Structure 1
Amino acid sequence: MIGAARLFNNEQLVVGAHFGSLSFCLGKSMKKTFALIGTAAAALMFSGTAHADVGSGFVGLSYSNGNPIDLESVGIDGRVAFGSNIQLDAGYNSIHSGDLNRWDIGGHFFSRSDQWLWGGFVGYENFDASGGSADEWTVAGQTQYYVDKTILSGNLSYSRTNALGPDINTIQLTGDARFFATDNFTVHLGTGYGRIDVSGSNGNFWTYGGGAEWKPDQLPISIYGDIGVVDPDGGGSNSTTWTVGVRYNFGGGSIYDRERHGASLSSPRGFLDLLF
């Protein structure tokens, strides 16, 4: 796995020592319980779509890999919009290099007009391995701007990671531009800047990447691919991750309808996502 000491070349930033062995102080059984609760809640979210005032959403399967460390991951995730002001997300990943399991759940609360969206996000993420587990909470402010066939998105997030030793605090500002060649073919480009702080020691980093998604007009299935890079300041090693996947889209309509009127918001995450 990618240790933070490798990503952030700072002798005083010793976070990599905490994560290299995955020996975290938080109890494995308790965290797994929280994760199972989150998964059960997610199942309730999706099973209720036939009976609630829901917008569009999706359930997806994905495969990811990356370098400089070969980290294979298979995942399932989903988003669903309830009414016009709530979006709920949930996901699970099995990371084969290191026998890791990742769980996440989050909620978005927002107001959307013809041109703007303003809102907030609260999310929880858990990593579980044979040697222990770690968890992370994230809060964020979110916005989107709509013009023609373009959606501009921005997130300002704060994350706290609880693990062996001091807490790890991460602040990130990210932006994304999504363009629609047709209602069912979209490409996006994104970038961001962040800062990690551990007991007064810190490191800064850039993120950038992009991707595309396509759906046949008469089918609810879409395919997508993404690539993301973490580029630390100060001479650390870059980390690149690529993902391919398939989604079952529900609620009717096109990808544009989903992104413009439905479950369109990304889930900001913190330090753990930089590692894996």
Structure 2
Amino acid sequence: MTSASPPVADASVVPAPPSRSLGAWGLDILIWGGVAALLIYSFEAVDLANLSRLVTNSANLQNFAADLLRPNFTDWRLFVEKMWETVQIALWGTFLAVFLAVPMGLAAARNIAPGWVVQPVRWVMNMLRSIPDLVIGLLFVVAVGLGPLAGVLAITLNTAGVLAKLFSEAVESIDKGPVEGVRATGGSRLQEIVWGVIPQVAPLWTSFALYRFESNSRSATVLGLIGAGGIGQVLFDRMNAFAFRDVSAVVIVVVVAVTLIDLLSQAMRKRLL
């Protein structure tokens, strides 16, 4: 007795498009409707009604733009020197932050640390991330005085909170196989982390650290506005003096420096990853 062959699907029949349930549609409407309602509600709060001032005050904007298009590089040596100081602040702040973020990131990963350790560490991480750089910088200016040290310490704490979160999320997404393999050979808890966890997350950690170094090069510029060293103080002084041609030169120096740092970071990623 021969078995019946399975029916062959007709290639000319177009399958019906996938359908979504009424509940899924309702959830989408609720979410995106809420976003739209929030945008409408906050329209006046952010003063978007006065967007026309860009046109009505166009004369002031034109005068300002005219100076920005004629940068004055008379003090270029000072600008480059202060920008180099800013880069050094960002470099040391990121370097110290990585040393703080590695143990915090491991302690905040739910798959390798107990719950009674994870939650307090996450609270510390949230606190470090939530306090703006300028506030932390002001605290350190009061503590250690004006200068680049306050900028380094401010960047260190804020970046440590950000990197610790990213590091912990990378640890939580690892493959359990290598860790179980180290455990099966009789390895200790520390050996599981060193040989089973770190090799998997090292590329991501490196990428995160390099990205934060790029970001900190810009953050260090802003910290100079409160006397925490770097080119920000020069930028602030020239803006207060309405020396917009000097401001334009400072901005160009910052853009060039950040661009070079970005190129260097890309080269390091290709080399290390």
Report the TM-score, using the length of structure 1 for normalisation. 0.23
Q: Which has the higher strand share?
A: 1
Structure number with larger C-alpha Rg: 2
Which structure has more RCO (C-alpha within 8 Å, separation ≥ 6)? 2
Q: Which has the higher helix share?
A: 2
Report the TM-score, using the length of structure 2 for normalisation. 0.23
